[in-house]
Homo-oligomer: A and B are copies of this chain.
Amino acid sequence: MGEGDSVLTEVKSLNEECGVFGVWGHPEAARLNYFGLHSLQHRGQEGAGIVANHQGALKGHRNVGLISEVFKDERELERLKGDSAIGHVRYGTAGSGGINNIQPFLFKFYDEEIALAHNGNLINAKSLRLELEQAGAIFHSNSDTEVLMHLIRRSKEAQFIDKLKESLKTVKGGFAYILMTSDAMIGALDPNGFRPLSIGQMKNGAYVLASETCALDVVGANFVRQVMPGEIVIINDEGYTIETYTDDTTMAICSMEYIYFARPDSDIAGVNVHTARKNMGRRLAEEAPIDADIVIGVPNSSLSAASGYAEKSGIPYEMGLIKNQYIARTFIQPTQELREQGVRMKLSAVRGVVAGKKVVMVDDSIVRGTTSRRIVQLLKEAGAKEVHVRIASPPLRYPCFYGIDIQTREELIAANHSVSEIKDLIFADSLSFLSEEGLIESIGLNFDAPYSGLCMAYFNGDFPTDLYDYEADYLKSLGTAPVLK
């Protein structure tokens, strides 16, 4: 599975919901957003936007497509003058509301202008929206992001920051928000810290907020600190201050950020993502050794784990799969033959490397199994004698409600089949998953929280929060598809 890009477009895979970025205090704020969002592009490819603040007046540009497509005409960047700007890259299902859902949202009121960008998923958005609509609110997008703005505008608090705090207490789920008003840029994190959000500082003193530290690096900003659960960071011309809107916090960083989503050069909670993945691979080699000729990883997200597996096992690490670096739309192909070639457009097996070999194929995770099956087939067609699949994370058996785009258990192969059954379904010669302990120890967080501060709900159903709007459906799904271990 590639980063944010499935082997088959028809297979809806794990998808992060969005990346956020912001700069306060640099004359080229919009251009810095362009750089920063480009480095966060793996977090969402459906749409992008930037809102800039020019002497208190906000102006934005957003559209469907990659950030480089949205700002294909450089004049669009030049129009976004100002010393501060926030931006967003969006993941969204096709046809999910078009341009109306692309962020940052820009609201203009008689008394203030506010831009808002959101990474995550609220779990009580549906009921809040119902309440708000019943009270006369009009929504203009499908997005749950808009809920926050309605709460803020309806708050009876006197100060903006207090309205915001009140609203943040009302919304539930996973969220890393960046807001921009005329005179401040504000970041806010949910009480579990599901999504990462970091503060950086540039040489000229400008402050930067970003979903991942790779975006700090790209603009040459030094890492200052992570935003912590329940915190609000307020950045203005005076500097930055941290406030909290709740003390009822428990760290539960999304483990999939380490496993799959985040860029290897990012650090989350002080842990480098590449290093964590390499550790997962090493641990996997200990937990599930196999006699083989070569170890290969599924590019790009599994290469770190594969090299760890190779190093630990002593089996040579080889480049047995090549990902085409150019992205092409796979049209719906009229024949089965063409559909299979469509797969090979994206990923190829290196015949000269794998032919006649016993191959350990390391992947980060298995969602539906379709992709794994195709890759095993690719390798066998290229002459691999045996293909031993090693997954550098535990089986995905539960949905996520905090910002990952899998909300039903039906689509998860491991929720419906045993490991042995999955092995057969994907035509592998053997199959092993990393243990939950192995995952936790490989990442190596040490927060005073369950699982050392990781959210492990995917794997064990232990959700760090109540499920609100999702609870009924979830319980129903447990009934119809009993959990297999």
- A interface residues with partner B (beta carbon < 8 Å): 2-3, 5, 28, 31-32, 34-35, 38-39, 41-42, 45, 66-68, 72, 74, 77, 99, 107-111, 129-130, 133-140, 142, 146, 149-150, 153-154, 214, 217-220, 263-265, 267, 271-275, 278, 300, 303-304, 307, 311, 316-319, 322, 324-329, 331, 333-335, 337-338, 340-342, 344-345, 348-353, 382
- Establish whether residues A149 and B153, one from each chain, have CB atoms under 8 Å apart when the complex forms: no
- Establish whether residues A136 and B109, one from each chain, have CB atoms under 8 Å apart when the complex forms: no
- The interface centre, meaning the residue of A35, A273, A349 with most chain B CB atoms within 10 A of its CB, is A35
- Establish whether residues A274 and B326, one from each chain, have CB atoms under 8 Å apart when the complex forms: no
- Establish whether residues B66 and A350, one from each chain, have CB atoms under 8 Å apart when the complex forms: no
- Establish whether residues B35 and A341, one from each chain, have CB atoms under 8 Å apart when the complex forms: yes
- Establish whether residues B322 and A304, one from each chain, have CB atoms under 8 Å apart when the complex forms: no
Q: Which residue of B lies closest to A130 (CB)?
A: B110
- Establish whether residues A218 and B264, one from each chain, have CB atoms under 8 Å apart when the complex forms: no
User: Roughly how many angstroms separate A334 CA and B27 CA in the complex, as a whole number?
Assistant: 12
- Establish whether residues B328 and A264, one from each chain, have CB atoms under 8 Å apart when the complex forms: no
User: Roughly how many angstroms separate A170 CA and B327 CA in the complex, as a whole number?
Assistant: 40
Cβ of A391 to closest chain B Cβ, rounded Å: 19
Which B residues are CB-close (under 8 A) to A45?
326
Q: Which residue of B lies closest to A317 (CB)?
A: B307
Instruction: Given A41-B326, A326-B38, verify A140-B140 contact (CB < 8 Å).
Output: yes
Instruction: Given A153-B138, A264-B350, verify A35-B329 contact (CB < 8 Å).
Output: no
Given contacts A35-B345, A38-B326, A110-B130, 18 further A-B contacts (CB under 8 A): A38-B345, A39-B345, A41-B324, A45-B326, A68-B327, A110-B129, A138-B140, A214-B322, A218-B345, A219-B341, A264-B322, A265-B348, A265-B353, A267-B351, A272-B351, A272-B353, A274-B352, A311-B317
Which B residues are CB-close (under 8 A) to A267?
351-352
- Establish whether residues A220 and B340, one from each chain, have CB atoms under 8 Å apart when the complex forms: yes
- Establish whether residues A150 and B133, one from each chain, have CB atoms under 8 Å apart when the complex forms: no
Which B residues are CB-close (under 8 A) to A150?
136, 138
Which B residues are CB-close (under 8 A) to A307?
317-319
Q: Which residue of B lies closest to A326 (CB)?
A: B41
- Establish whether residues B272 and A350, one from each chain, have CB atoms under 8 Å apart when the complex forms: yes
User: Roughly how many angstroms separate A133 CA and B28 CA in the complex, as a whole number?
Assistant: 33
User: Roughly how many angstroms separate A108 CA and B333 CA in the complex, as a whole number?
Assistant: 31
- Establish whether residues A31 and B138, one from each chain, have CB atoms under 8 Å apart when the complex forms: no
Instruction: Given A99-B99, A109-B133, A352-B267, verify A38-B328 contact (CB < 8 Å).
Output: yes
Which B residues are CB-close (under 8 A) to A352?
265, 267, 271-275
User: Roughly how many angstroms separate A275 CA and B357 CA in the complex, as a whole number?
Assistant: 14
- Establish whether residues B153 and A214, one from each chain, have CB atoms under 8 Å apart when the complex forms: no
- The interface centre, meaning the residue of A3, A38, A111 with most chain B CB atoms within 10 A of its CB, is A38
- Establish whether residues A138 and B129, one from each chain, have CB atoms under 8 Å apart when the complex forms: no
Cβ of A379 to closest chain B Cβ, rounded Å: 12
- Of B136, B219, B263, B319, which one neighbours A264 at CB under 8 angstroms? B319
Can you sample 10 A-B contacts with CB below 8 Å? A5-B325, A35-B344, A38-B326, A41-B324, A68-B326, A107-B140, A110-B133, A138-B150, A220-B337, A272-B350
- Establish whether residues A42 and B265, one from each chain, have CB atoms under 8 Å apart when the complex forms: no
User: Roughly how many angstroms separate A214 CA and B129 CA in the complex, as a whole number?
Assistant: 43
Which B residues are CB-close (under 8 A) to A67?
328
- Establish whether residues A324 and B38, one from each chain, have CB atoms under 8 Å apart when the complex forms: yes
Cβ of A250 to closest chain B Cβ, rounded Å: 26
- Establish whether residues B317 and A3, one from each chain, have CB atoms under 8 Å apart when the complex forms: no
Instruction: Given A344-B35, A349-B265, verify A329-B138 contact (CB < 8 Å).
Output: no
- Establish whether residues B72 and A329, one from each chain, have CB atoms under 8 Å apart when the complex forms: yes
- Of B41, B154, B217, B350, which one neighbours A344 at CB under 8 angstroms? B217
User: Roughly how many angstroms separate A331 CA and B154 CA in the complex, as a whole number?
Assistant: 43
Which B residues are CB-close (under 8 A) to A263?
322, 348
